[in-house]
Chain A
Amino acid sequence: MSNVNGKVLKHGTQTRTMHWIHLLAFIILGLTGIGFYWDIGGIASIFGGEANASLVHRWAGVVFVVGPLLYVLLNFDRFSRFMDSISHFSKDDFAWLKVMGGYLPFIKVDEVPPQDKYNAGQKILGWLIIIGCLLIILTGFPMWLWRHSVPAVFLAFCYNVHFWTAIILILLVAGHFFLAAIHPKSRVEFSSMMLDGYIDAQISAHHNAKWFAELKESP
Chain B
Amino acid sequence: MSTVLSDGVIHVSDDCKACDHCTFICPTGAISGVLGQKHHINPQKCINCGQCLINCPFNAIYDLSKVEELKKVLADSQKFVVVQEAPAVRVALGEEFGQAPGTNVKNKMYAALRKLGFDRVYDTEFTADLTIMEEGTELIHRVYGALGVAGFENVGPLPQFTSCCPAWIKYAEDNYPLVLPHISSAKSPQQMWGAVAKTYLAEKLNVNPANIFSVSVMPCTAKKYECERSEFIASGYQDVDLVITTRELAQMIKDAEIDFMGLADEEADRFVGLSTGAATIFGATGGVMEAALRTAYEILSGESLGKVEFDAVRGLDPVREATVEVPVKALGTSLPVSVCIVTGTKHVAEVIEDVLAGRSNYHFIEVMNCPGGCINGGGQPIRRDTY
Taking Cβ atoms with an 8 Å cutoff, the residues of A that contact B are 36-37, 39, 49-55, 57-58, 143-144, 147-149, 151-153, 155-156, 159
Contacts and interface: CB of A to CB of B under 8 A. Distances in A.
A147 B33 CA distance: 14
21 contacts: A36-B36, A49-B37, A50-B18, A50-B36, A50-B38, A52-B36, A54-B34, A55-B36, A147-B19, A147-B24, A148-B20, A148-B21, A149-B24, A151-B55, A152-B21, A152-B56, A153-B385, A153-B386, A155-B57, A159-B17, A159-B19
Nearest to B33: A51
A156 B38 CA distance: 16
Name the residue among B35, B38, B55 with the largest chain A CB count within 10 angstroms. Answer: B35
Given A36-B18, A57-B36, A148 B384 contact: no
Contacts of A51: 34-37
B191 interface: no
Contacts of B58: 156, 159
A147 B18 contact: no
Given A37-B17, A51-B36, A54-B35, 20 more contacts: A36-B18, A36-B36, A39-B14, A49-B37, A50-B36, A50-B37, A51-B35, A54-B18, A55-B35, A147-B21, A148-B20, A148-B24, A151-B55, A153-B384, A153-B386, A155-B19, A155-B57, A156-B58, A156-B384, A159-B17
A156 B18 CA distance: 12
Contacts of B21: 147-148, 152, 155
Contacts of B34: 51, 54
B369 interface: no
Nearest to A55: B36
A152 B51 CA distance: 12
B23 interface: yes
B35 A156 contact: no
Contacts of A57: 36
Contacts of A49: 37
B57 A156 contact: yes
Interface residues of B, number: 20
A54 B24 CA distance: 18
Q: Is the interface of B mostly helix, strand, loop or mixed?
A: loop
Nearest to B17: A159
A165 B125 CA distance: 50
B19 A143 contact: yes
Contacts of A58: 35
A152 B55 contact: yes
Given A36-B18, A147-B19, A159 B36 contact: no
A143 B23 CA distance: 14
Contacts of A153: 57, 384-386
B101 to A, nearest CB: 15
A155 B304 CA distance: 51
Interface in B129-180: none
B247 to A, nearest CB: 16
Contact of A54 (B36, B55, B386): B36
A58 to B, nearest CB: 8
Contacts of B55: 151-152
A49 B19 CA distance: 16
Contact of B57 (A50, A55, A152): A152
B263 to A, nearest CB: 31
A148 B38 contact: no
Contacts of A53: 36
Contacts of A39: 14
Contacts of A156: 57-58, 384
Interface in B11-28: 14, 17-21, 23-24
B35 A147 contact: yes
